[in-house]
Amino acid sequence: MLPEPEDSWMTPLIKFIVSNELPKDKDRAQKTKRQAPRFVLLNNILYRRSFQGPLLKCLSEKEVDYVLREIHKGCCAEHLGGMSLARKTMLAGFWWPTLSEDSARGKGITSWCQEMKITQSFTSVAYPQANGQTEFVNRIIVQALKTRLQGKGRD
């Protein structure tokens, strides 16, 4: 009745949900009992309950790389960073225990830039005034508006 023929991180949870069978290791059994209420088995597929979203399909280790690659540079093609990739993966409806750690390994852009001797610079979108170019551009815009409006009457 198990969806996975080999042992995976899901096996103890599925066995406990289906037949109340716990692992022989006491610590693992306690952990499985504590985690089980967060999961549900539907049509022999394990899902994790999420707080405000849909059920998240649990993936085995062999499915993880494919899903991360697809979301990072496949059909979704956004080349996201680690945290954003993990969030987008959950929004797509997938989950596994090492999701955050696995998502952080998508550092291809950084290594490519280093290899090509490209220096990456980051600015804060939340506080664009920190970037001197923003102030410079704003000054040019204000000067251009002033010259256009000179002699046009003040409304």
How confident is the model over 43-56, as pLDDT tens digits? 999 999 987 778 88
Q: Computed from CA positions of residues 36, 42, 44, 46, in that sequence, does the dihedral angle turn out positive or negative?
A: negative
Task: Give the bridge partners for 95, in sequence order.
Answer: 58
Look-up of token digits 């256009």: 148
pLDDT tens digits, 20-37: 999 999 999 999 999 999
pLDDT tens digits, 45-96: 999 998 777 888 998 888 888 887 777 676 555 556 677 777 778 877 888 8
> In this structure, are 57 and 84 located in the same domain?
yes
pLDDT exceeds 70 at position 114: yes
Alpha-carbon separation of residue 38 from 28, 41, 46, 72, 94 (angstroms): 16, 11, 10, 27, 14
Domain of residue 145, residue span: 121-155
pLDDT tens digits, 116-148: 777 777 665 666 556 667 777 888 888 888 888
> In this structure, are 152 and 91 located in the same domain?
no
> In this structure, are 97 and 154 located in the same domain?
no
The DSSP secondary-structure symbol of 103 reads H
* Contact status, residue 48 vs residue 55, Cβ threshold 8 Å: yes
Distance between CA atoms of residues 41 and 5, nearest Å: 16
Both tokens of 32, joined, read 């499985």
> In this structure, are 80 and 46 located in the same domain?
yes
pLDDT exceeds 90 at position 18: yes
Instruction: State residue 8's pLDDT score.
Output: 85
> In this structure, are 103 and 127 located in the same domain?
no
Look-up of token digits 């069978």: 21
CATH of the domain at 87: 1.10.340.70
